Amino acid sequence: MVSEVKAISGRAIPLVGNDIDTDRIIPARFLRCVTFDGLGAHAFADDRAQMQGQHPFDLPQFQGAEVLVVNGNFGCGSSREHAPQAIAKWGIQALIGESFAEIFLGNCVAMGIPCVTASGETVKAVQEAIAANPQTTVEIDLNTMQVRWHQTAAPIQMGEGARNMFLSGTWDACGQLVSQAPAIQATASQLPYLRWSTAVS
Amino acid sequence: MSNGTLFDKVWQSHTVRTLPSGQTQLFIGLHLIHEVTSPQAFAMLRERGLEVMFPDRTVATVDHIVPTENQARPFLDSLAEEMIEELERNCKDNGIRFYNIGSGSQGIVHVIAPEQGLTQPGMTIACGDSHTSTHGAFGAIAFGIGTSQVRDVLASQTLALSKLKVRRIEVNGRLKPGVYAKDVILHIIRKLGVKGGVGYAYEYAGTTIEQMNMEERMTLCNMSIEGGARCGYVNPDQVTFDYLKDREFAPKGAAWDEAVAWWTSIRSDADATYDDVVVFDAATIAPTITWGITPGQGIAVTETVPTPEELGEDDRAIAAEAYQYMDLHPGQPIQGTKVDVCFVGSCTNGRITDLREAARFAQGRQVATGVKAFIVPGSERVKQQAEAEGLDQIFQAAGFEWREPGCSMCLAMNPDKLVGRQLSASSSNRNFKGRQGSSSGRTLLMSPAMVVAAAVTGHVFDVREWV
């Protein structure tokens, strides 16, 4: 399953605010399911209900956007992959923000959704540009590590390991991991506790 | 870069190889699963024709969706019933040990693994739940993962990960009566912030931590993730060994001595180097309580809700959001805030020592009129132990409801939910908007003793007045 992710380009949606947690992205009642199907409709369900149509995910000018632009510590809290799944199923293919919570970020990598960080000034400038003109195309380029919009470009950051996985199409690590069965067995055989806790099996 | 810490040693011993991306393929010694984040992972395995590589290194239970009143099957909530059936099927099909309701060993995943001795020093532990950091209390490297990563662990018993930095958080001195591990971690998060731990493992050390029992250490490590740290740990010591001795999955006989020697050898070296060191004085920590919508918005119970001027510039926008959502005003004392619902339980504070401490303050007192108060033991074993000690009688005589084990109103995936704008005093771990089941419900996080004090007085009350 090799699928290289080198650049994402499309219209963008601004979501302003720090510390937006995964309970807000997808409230727990929507986790009562055994598939991720249909989660897109419930992304930010409670925030949207409270904002009565004024939440960015409800505004007509941002429908069809592919890049989500957020601020600090986005995706903090619960490890639920339902959160990035809901965002992805809504249509988002990449996120740019000031910072991301670690488990959220790891989930996005495993799903093939790049999350890149940029300075507060850059994020604010992109959010303002797309708010002023929702037709603005925002391009996130993992080769040059730049975000581009209008005639502007600014640097972006991403962990080197994750970046390599996107560029080489190995963000879905499962096959790579499974292929190493002998090495995995060798590591396991060196761990003393696997000998002691025979009662587990 | 850290060197010679427990984190470094455990990381090293579990490294399978360096992946082409530069990340590490890390062996996972213990994988814990539950009904919410595993069904899609098993479906992905089936789609790809993959098998579970080490079925004996995965252990399952059901906790998030279980009702705490009527547990008769099928559950009244058909969606919850579908989830538990899916887990039952997946465990049966793949030969995975499953602690179901009524087994005597079911409970919150982060309560049952330690109490059975499954969680041990020097292990790597993963679970599709952010509070997996709890297991770090034993000197394990334990962290939460998402469902795609649950798939990876099932298929390969490994994960692709980047190594974390290590921050040593030292707390020294004796905690004052009425001040608990919960207050220590709320204080740490208040000071270091909710994203201060991103990219770090937290090593908790110092004389205060050394004096803590295992359950207190679990409370501490549990909330590492609320400070942004994916894992937190305490170096194993005699307290750890005494806790583990004779538990069913702990090593026995000659293996026990070998284990103690190995567990001792993986402790951080005296001359270990850290990426960062932070020191706190236990004497300065008071009963701490959150007033806002992130676990970092904490204050001492005697303090007032901070004004924007008292906060850093970065914290003002989220504070403004919190004033409005919580209906609390800058400068207002938090003491005296009226509460509607009081909840003792969760993977943070649902263990036997938490219930004993709660019962100590509930004994001979009465829940205030108009307050709904309930106690949810963390596991079937905790419940059984509490009943053997008569704690259930104390709670019920005081007007608390005594429930069946589960995650309950920590995240409200089961029928236990706030209604409307109710305000809860909660021993759980998250005060996010809508967290406890009502999109306008409000949560104040605090220790179990403080929850009981709030239940009895009907408002936020400094439990030290009863000590």
The reported pLDDT for the residue numbered A199 is: 47
Nearest CA in chain A to B85: A34
Q: Which residue has the tokens 């239970």?
A: B61
> pLDDT tens across B242-251, in order?
999 999 999 9
- For the record, the structure tokens of A121 come out as 């000034």
Residue B120 makes CB contacts below 8 A (sequence gap 6+) with: A193, A197, B138, B140, B244, B249, B250, B259, B263
- Looking at residue B260, its amino acid is V
Comparing B7-161 with B288-466, is the CATH topology the same? yes
Q: Which of B149, B259, B318 sits opposite A18 (nearest CB)?
A: B318
Quote the minimal CA–CA distance from A35 to chain B in Å. 5
| Superfamily of domain covering B165-284 | Aconitase, Domain 2 (3.40.1060.10)
Say if strands A146-149 and A137-141 run parallel, antiparallel, or are unpaired: antiparallel
Do the Cβ atoms of A99 and B198 come within 8 Å? yes
Using CB atoms within 10 A of its CB, is residue A143 exposed (0-12), middle (13-18) or buried (19+)? Answer: exposed
Q: Which CATH number fits domain B288-466: 3.30.499.10, 3.40.190.10, 3.40.50.1010, 3.60.20.10?
A: 3.30.499.10
> pLDDT tens across B292-319, in order?
999 999 999 999 999 999 999 999 999 9
Q: What percent of chain B has pLDDT over 90?
A: 100
Residues pairing with A69 in the sheet:
A14, A96
Q: What percent of chain B has pLDDT over 70?
A: 100
A160: which chain B residues are within 8 Å (Cβ-Cβ)? 22
A89: which chain B residues are within 8 Å (Cβ-Cβ)? none
Q: How far apart are CA B185 and CA B223, in angstroms?
A: 7
The structural domains of chain B, with segments of one domain joined by +, span 7-161, 165-284, 288-466
Q: Which CATH number fits domain B7-161: 3.40.309.10, 3.40.50.970, 3.90.180.10, 3.30.499.10?
A: 3.30.499.10
Do the Cβ atoms of A196 and B251 come within 8 Å? yes
Please give the interface size between A and B, counted as residue pairs whose CB atoms are below 8 Å apart: 239
Say if strands B165-172 and B442-445 run parallel, antiparallel, or are unpaired: unpaired
Do the Cβ atoms of B160 and A160 come within 8 Å? no
A177: which chain B residues are within 8 Å (Cβ-Cβ)? 25, 152, 155-156, 158-160
Alpha helices in B327-464 (DSSP H): 346-349, 352-362, 380-388, 391-397, 448-457
Best probe of the A interface among B38, B42, B123, B149, by most A CBs < 10 A, is B149
ipTM of the complex: 0.96
Q: How confident is the model at residue B111 (pLDDT cuts 50, 70, 90)?
A: very high
The reported pLDDT for the residue numbered A198 is: 54
B31: which chain A residues are within 8 Å (Cβ-Cβ)? none
Residue B157 confidence (pLDDT) above 90: yes
Quote the minimal CA–CA distance from B44 to chain A in Å. 10
Per-residue pLDDT of chain A (201 residues; tens, 9 = 90+): 569 999 999 999 999 999 999 999 999 999 999 999 999 999 999 999 999 999 999 999 999 999 999 999 999 999 999 999 999 999 999 999 999 999 999 999 999 999 999 999 999 999 999 999 999 999 999 999 999 999 999 999 999 999 999 999 999 999 999 999 999 999 999 999 999 865 444
Q: Which fold has domain A7-170?
A: Aconitase; domain 4 (3.20.19)
Best probe of the B interface among A24, A102, A170, A190, by most B CBs < 10 A, is A102
Strand ranges (E), B215-365: 231-234, 276-281, 288-290, 298-300, 341-344
Residue B308 phi/psi, 5-degree rounding, is -55, -35
Nearest CA in chain B to A76: B228
> pLDDT tens across B388-412, in order?
999 999 999 999 999 999 999 999 9
The reported pLDDT for the residue numbered A197 is: 67
Do the Cβ atoms of A110 and B54 come within 8 Å? no
Is the bond leading into B74 cis (omega within 30 degrees of zero)?
yes
Q: How far apart are CA B38 and CA B460, in angstroms?
A: 38
Residues pairing with B32 in the sheet:
B59, B127
Nearest CA in chain B to A166: B21
Q: How far is CA B257 from the centre of its chain?
A: 30
Quote the minimal CA–CA distance from A145 to chain B in Å. 17
Residue B442 confidence (pLDDT) above 60: yes
Q: Which residue has the tokens 């409709």?
A: A41
Chain B interface includes A132 (CB < 8 A): no
